[in-house]
Amino acid sequence: MNPSLENIKDLSVTDDNADGGSLTVEQALANLESADLGLRFYAAWWLGRFRISEPAAVTALIKALEDEADRTPEGGYPLRRNAARALGKLGDRQAVSPLIGCLDCSDFYVREAAAQSLEMLGDPVCIPALIKLLAVGLQGEQLISKQPDLSQPYDAILEALGTLRATEFAPMVKAFLEHPIELVQYSAARAMYQLTQEPVYGERLVKALGGEKLQLRRAVLADLGAIGYLPAADAIAQTLAENSLKLISLKGLLEHQVNHITPSTFSEGAIKVMNLMDSLL
């Protein structure tokens, strides 16, 4: 799990969390069973947002993954989506197996949330199920279609495979570098860097920081922070995006430096990153 990336998602790119209502844990748990579907939906979000990781919350959210009451007109499962997202944040591995089950759900957003949460929970036991979903877009080790394929949450699946170090599946991940959707390409580049540590994939992301669309630059900032790619530091500081997002990205680089190196003094890279961060405050 990368807390930096999480922050970006939590902040949903602007700033400042929209507030959190004033539930208690007991109320939230009771609301998950409420007749009011809106209250259930909010309670599931709330338990995740405030990291209520006690066993009763985990059990109730796992149960909510099988909810049938809350449906969108298109057949989606809003409560299941929120429950799946929350379970990723609670860090309880009991959720792994139920979340793997969600990868077969008919609702795209449930599958996406499950893949993201499985990434956060960090248990490689889910790799085969993720690969099965990824393979929907592949024939052997080639993309089936040059047309945008929106049938699966490929970006979330690729990111999870990278974080979970699914190295033996790198050739399948690599195929998605050619995916027609840029966001999916970046997820593939990020995963390939995590799987191989080859700078060419980090550089692919650095190049993307020069792209035209602000939304994509924001996504790439999250990716670079998540992989802690130090050579990107200057490009991160200079890209055209909000300082909040650059700071989160650079913090990812900094923590990667101090987590993975045990120096007797700060590394040159760590000092460089801190100086850049200071300049963006």
Partner 1 sequence: MNNSDLAQILIRAVEEADSSDRLLDAVQELAAAGIEEAVPCLIAALGYNNPGAAVAAVDGLIAIGEAAVQPLLQLIDGYNYGARAWAIRALAGIGDVRALDTLLEAAKTDFSLSVRRAAARGLGTLRWQQVPPEKLESIQTQVLEALLLISQDPEWVVRYAAVTSLETLAIAIAATLPDQASRITNQLQQMLDTDVDLGVRTRVKFAQEKIQPQQPQQHQEVFAPKIKLQDTEVPHRGGSRR
Query: Residue numbers of the site for partner 1 (CB under 8 A)?
Result: 14-17, 19-20, 22, 49-53, 214, 240-244, 247-248, 251, 254-255, 258-259, 262-266, 270-271, 274, 277-278, 281
> Which of residues 34 and 267 has its CB atom nearest to partner 1 in the complex?
267
> Which of residues 99 and 245 has its CB atom nearest to partner 1 in the complex?
245
CA distance 109 to 197: 30
> Which of residues 179 and 218 has its CB atom nearest to partner 1 in the complex?
218
Least distance to partner 1 from the beta carbon of 4, Å?
Answer: 8
CA distance 57 to 36: 18
Least distance to partner 1 from the beta carbon of 96, Å?
Answer: 18
Least distance to partner 1 from the beta carbon of 117, Å?
Answer: 17
> Which of residues 1 and 183 has its CB atom nearest to partner 1 in the complex?
1
> Which of residues 195 and 277 has its CB atom nearest to partner 1 in the complex?
277
Q: Burial, 183: exposed, middle or buried (Cβ in 10 Å; 0-12, 13-18, 19+)?
A: middle
> Which of residues 66 and 242 has its CB atom nearest to partner 1 in the complex?
242
Least distance to partner 1 from the beta carbon of 254, Å?
Answer: 5
Least distance to partner 1 from the beta carbon of 54, Å?
Answer: 9
**What is the residue whose two structure tokens read 């507030």?**
19
Least distance to partner 1 from the beta carbon of 178, Å?
Answer: 28
